[in-house]
Amino acid sequence: MLRLDCLRSVYLELENCLVVTIMGAVAAELHSLGHRPNFFYLQHAMGMASSTGLGLALCLPEQRVIVFDGDGSLLMNLGSLSTMARYRPKKLLHVVFDNESLLSVGGFPTATSTGADLEGIARSSGIPRATTVRRVESFKDAVTAALEGNELTTIIAKVEAKGPAAYVTDLSLLENRFQFRRHIQSLKAR
Amino acid sequence: MSSAKPILRCDARQPESKQMPVSSTSSKLIYDALKECDIRLVSALPETWLVHLIRLTDEDPEMILVRLAKEEEGVGISAGAHFAGVKSAMLMQNHGFLASINGIVSFAHLYKIPLLMLISYRGSIGERDPWQTQGGNVTEPLLRALGIPYFFLDALETVKKRIRQAQTLAESSLQPVALLLTRDLMWEE
């Protein structure tokens, strides 16, 4: 299963969500499908994407929030799972693309390649719904179900360690950040 | 609740069991000043000097309290709050500041995110706990190295104004600003 195919399969469903991604392949691939003002790419600060999604979800409880996380990033901030589980915002969806690798720095294997089970860790941290998917159709179904549901969900998507040709996009970090905030403020003004 | 009691037993790691004279007066003053700045979300990881502040936050239905596993999470949570248009503050010990540095540099600084960090300044003069002392030595040098403006909360008369001013600076400069909570303010003995 390719991450890009997963992202493509749910791209249309992202329109009414606030989307936070980690750096590297996830950001570059989502951007390549077409940037939108409701997408924020956290191009560093590994581990902080899930915390950012939690902050958004706690402050905007009626708003759908999706975090596209990765195994390397989540392993740097496993405590975030227990913090999300503690407050369990109903409309927060946490997707973890697990390629068992730190791909953008050369493909070094992460601990999920040697047996660390992120679904099990999420479940044991108290995340009410945690699941693992290995096919694009199951990924799409799991995301759709979570977006229609009303429960904090973590989806572990096992994907191949393949990334885009380039990781740099033409969107500057600050442009993205200011556009994202302005977009949210415009939603609140409606 | 025992909000009027200035004495609280709260740190199991104290070498000898004793009452903790954390100032409830100063804590209330700080809390009220945060509220007046329109702070509506506070992230926190408990430490002795912060017990009253965390309790006041927890008891206030207008405030969102996020209890963290590690202080660095608070950087992401405050960034999310900022995007959402909600003003936030972070309550941490100086060792929690040390644990947050990558998030501060590669998120708050990189993306120009305002952070109001209230940091209990342990390990400075008067510190009896040996384990706090090394962090005390490096707190101000690190704040300077990171280019984080910092100011002291050290007297009741200036607490309200300094918190207002720090919050104003964080919002106008879109960067982290630190307030160091000192022993003189937080400890009554």
Judge whether residue A168 has pLDDT over 90.
no
Query: Which residue of chain A has the CA closest to B87?
Result: A59
Residue A2 in this model has a pLDDT that exceeds 50:
yes
Average pLDDT over residues A29-37: 97
Per residue in B1-58, pLDDT (tens digit) is 334 333 444 444 444 335 689 999 999 999 999 999 999 999 999 999 999 999 999 9
Question: What pLDDT score does B15 carry?
Answer: 42
Confidence band (pLDDT; 50, 70, 90) for A104?
A: confident
**Residue A54 at interface with chain B, using a CB cutoff of 8 Å:** yes
Higher pLDDT, A55 or B3: A55
Q: Give the pLDDT of residue B18.
A: 52
Beta strand pairing status for B39-44 and B176-181? unpaired
Domain ranges of chain B: 24-186
Contact A79, B70 (CB under 8 A): yes
The rounded mean pLDDT for chain A is: 97
Structure tokens belonging to residue A116: 């660390």
- pLDDT band at residue A190 using 50, 70 and 90 as cut-offs: confident
Selected residue of B62, B77, B87, B90 to mutate for chain A interface (largest A Cβ count, 10 A) = B77
Q: What tokens were used for A40?
A: 């924020």
User: What mean pLDDT is predicted for residues B82-107?
Assistant: 98
Q: Which CATH number do you get for residue A49?
A: 3.40.50.970
- Give me the pLDDT at residue A105, please: 86
Nearest to A77 among B73, B80, B106 (CB): B73
The answer to whether residue A9 scores a pLDDT higher than 60 is yes
Q: Which residues of A touch B75 (CB under 8 A)?
A: 45, 48, 51
B85:A185 CB<8 A: yes
Distance from CA of A64 to the nearest CA of B (A): 12
The pLDDT value given to residue B167: 98
Query: With 50 as the cut, is the pLDDT of residue A71 above it?
Result: yes
The per-residue pLDDT for B6 is 38
- Smallest CA–CA distance, residue B155 to chain A, in Å, is 32
Residue that wins the pLDDT comparison between B144 and B2 = B144
User: Quick one: what percent of chain A has pLDDT higher than 70?
Assistant: 100
Burial (0-12, 13-18, 19+ Cβ within 10 Å), B6: middle
Cβ of B73 within 8 Å of Cβ of A51? The answer is yes
A59/B70 CB distance under 8 A: no
For residue A82, the chain B residues in CB contact (below 8 A) are 69
Task: Quote the number of domains for chain A.
Answer: 1
Q: 3-class secondary structure for chain B?
A: CCCCCCCECCCCCCCCCCCECECHHHHHHHHHHHHHCCEEEEEECCCHHHHHHHHHHHHCCCCEEEECCCCCHHHHHHHHHHHHCCEEEEEEEHHHHHHCHHHHHHHHHCCCCCEEEEEECCCCCCCCCHHHHHHHHHHHHHHHHCCCCEEEECCHHHHHHHHHHHHHHHHHHCCEEEEEECHHHHECC
What does pLDDT average to over chain B?
Answer: 92
CATH number, domain B24-186: 3.40.50.970
Which single residue is written with the structure tokens 């309790």?
A: B55
Residue A19 has pLDDT above 70, yes or no: yes
- Per-residue confidence band for B189, with pLDDT thresholds at 50, 70 and 90: confident
Residue A55 in this model has a pLDDT that exceeds 80: yes
CA proximity to A69, closest of A47, A85, A54, A90: A47
Contact A56 B84 (CB under 8 A): yes
Closest residue to B83, CB basis, from A47, A50, A180: A180
**Closest approach of B31 to chain A, Cα-based (Å):** 20
Percent of chain B at pLDDT > 90 equals 89
Residue A11's SS3 state is helix
Flag whether pLDDT at B175 surpasses 70: yes
Q: How far is B77 from chain A (nearest CA, A)?
A: 4
Torsions phi, psi of A134, nearest 5?
A: -130, 0
Q: Is A67 on the interface with B (CB under 8 A)?
A: no
Q: What is the pTM of this model?
A: 0.94
Show the domain range for A167. 3-189
Q: What pLDDT band is residue A189 in, cutting at 50, 70 and 90?
A: confident
